A and B are shown apart, each in its own frame.
Chain A
Amino acid sequence: MKKTTRPITVYLKLFTGAFPERISAQMKLGACVRDLMAQVKKENFKNLSRENSPMPLQQVAQDDLLLILNGRPIQNLQGYDTPLEDGDVLAVFPVMAGG
Chain B
Amino acid sequence: MPFAFAGKVLHVNLTTGKITPKPLDEKKVLKYLGARGFNARLLWDLLPPGVDPLGPENLLIFGTGTLTGTSAPTSGRTTVSCKGPATGLYLKTSVGGHWGAELKFAGYDYLVIEGRAAKPVYLVILDGAVKIRDAAELWGKDVRETTRAIEHALGDPEVQVACIGPAGENRVLFASIMMNYYNAAARGGVGAVMGSKNLKAVAVRGHGKIRVARPQEFRKAIMESIEVSYQDFSAKTSYLYGTSASVAVINELGSFPSFNFRSGRIDNAEKISGPYLVEAGYLKRRMGCSACIFSCHRYCEVASGPYTGAYGGGPEYETMSALGAGCGTVDVELVIKANELCNLYGMDTISAGSVVQWAMESYERGVITEKDTGGVKLEWGSREAILSLLEQVALHKGFGARLGGGVRRAAKSVGKGSEKWAVEAKGLEQSRVETRTAFGYALAFAVNPRGPDHLHSQVLAEFGTRPGGRALVAKITGHERYAFPRTLEKRADIVRWHEDCYAATDAVGLCSFATTARYGVTPELLARMLSAATGIDFFESESLLLAGRRIVNLEKAFNVREGATREHDCLPHRLMNEVLPQTSAKDDDRSKAAPDRPSPVRESINSRAYLDRMLDEYYELHGWEKTTGLPRCKTLGDLDLGDVAAELDRMGKLAKD
Contacts and interface: CB of A to CB of B under 8 A. Distances in A.
Nearest to B463: A73
A75 B464 contact: yes
B246 A63 contact: no
Interface in B484-521: 484-486, 513, 517-518
Contacts of A91: 249, 252
B238 A63 contact: no
Nearest to A16: B275
Contacts of B270: 18-20
Interface in A33-82: 54-55, 60-61, 63-64, 66, 68-73, 75-79, 82
B246 A17 contact: no
Interface in B440-487: 454, 460, 463-467, 470, 483-486
Contacts of A31: none
B584 A89 contact: yes
Interface string A71-99: 11101111100110101110101111111
B490 to A, nearest CB: 15
A57 B240 CA distance: 14
A98 B465 contact: no
A92 to B, nearest CB: 10
B518 A70 contact: no
A98 B513 contact: yes
A97 B517 contact: yes
A70 B238 CA distance: 25
B234 interface: yes
Contact of B594 (A70, A77, A95, A96): A77
Contacts of B432: 99
B362 interface: no
Contacts of B280: 18
B232 interface: yes
B253 A68 contact: yes
B518 A93 contact: no
A95 B241 contact: no
Given A82-B592, A96-B249, A97-B246, A55 B240 contact: yes
A61 B233 CA distance: 9
Nearest to A68: B252
Nearest to A74: B465
A91 to B, nearest CB: 5
A21 B586 CA distance: 21
A31 B14 CA distance: 71
B528 to A, nearest CB: 23
Contact of A64 (B233, B240, B433): B233
Given A61-B233, A97-B232, A99-B318, A18 B278 contact: yes
Contacts of A96: 234, 237-238, 241, 245-246, 249
B593 interface: yes
B233 A95 contact: yes
A79 B318 CA distance: 29
Given A70-B587, A70-B589, A98 B483 contact: no
B598 to A, nearest CB: 11
Contact of B484 (A54, A76, A87): A76
Contacts of B246: 96-99
Contact of B592 (A55, A61, A77): A77
A95 B296 contact: no
Nearest to A65: B233
Given A54-B278, A97-B517, A98-B238, A75 B248 contact: no
**Interface magnitude class on chain A:** 35 or more
Identify which of A17, A85, A95, A97 gathers the most chain B CB atoms within 10 Å of its CB.
Answer: A97
A88 B592 CA distance: 12
Given A15-B248, A18-B276, A88-B586, A98 B234 contact: yes
Contact of A71 (B253, B296, B460): B253
Contacts of A63: 233, 467
Nearest to B233: A64
A97 B594 contact: no
Nearest to A99: B317
Given A18-B279, A71-B252, A76-B464, A98 B586 contact: no
Given A73-B253, A77-B594, A98 B243 contact: yes
B435 to A, nearest CB: 13
Contacts of A69: 592
Interface string B556-596: 00000000000000000000000000011111010011100
Interface in B513-567: 513, 517-518
Nearest to A50: B279
A53 B470 CA distance: 30
A79 B483 CA distance: 12
Identify which of B252, B273, B589 gathers the most chain A CB atoms within 10 Å of its CB.
Answer: B252
B275 A87 contact: no
Nearest to A64: B233
A99 B252 contact: no
Given A76-B464, A78-B594, A98-B234, A17 B245 contact: no
Nearest to A78: B594
A71 B253 CA distance: 4
Given A60-B233, A96-B241, A76 B460 contact: no
Contacts of A95: 232-234, 237, 465-466
Given A76-B484, A97-B232, A99-B432, A18 B454 contact: no
A82 to B, nearest CB: 6
A32 B484 CA distance: 20
Contact of B589 (A76, A79, A98): A76
A73 B589 contact: no
A66 B592 CA distance: 18
A71 B484 CA distance: 14
A27 B589 CA distance: 20
B206 interface: no
Interface string A2-33: 00000000000101011110000000000000
Contacts of B63: none
A75 B592 contact: no
11 contacts: A18-B273, A18-B276, A70-B585, A71-B587, A76-B484, A78-B594, A93-B248, A93-B249, A94-B233, A97-B237, A97-B517
The 3 closest A-B pairs by CB, nearest first: A64-B233, A97-B234, A18-B275
Interface of A: 13, 15, 17-20, 54-55, 60-61, 63-64, 66, 68-73, 75-79, 82-83, 85, 87-89, 91, 93-99
Given A18-B270, A54-B240, A55-B240, 5 more contacts: A63-B233, A72-B589, A82-B592, A95-B233, A99-B454
Interface of B: 232-234, 236-238, 240-241, 243, 245-246, 248-250, 252-254, 270-271, 273, 275-276, 278-280, 296, 316-318, 432-433, 454, 460, 463-467, 470, 483-486, 513, 517-518, 583-587, 589, 592-594, 597
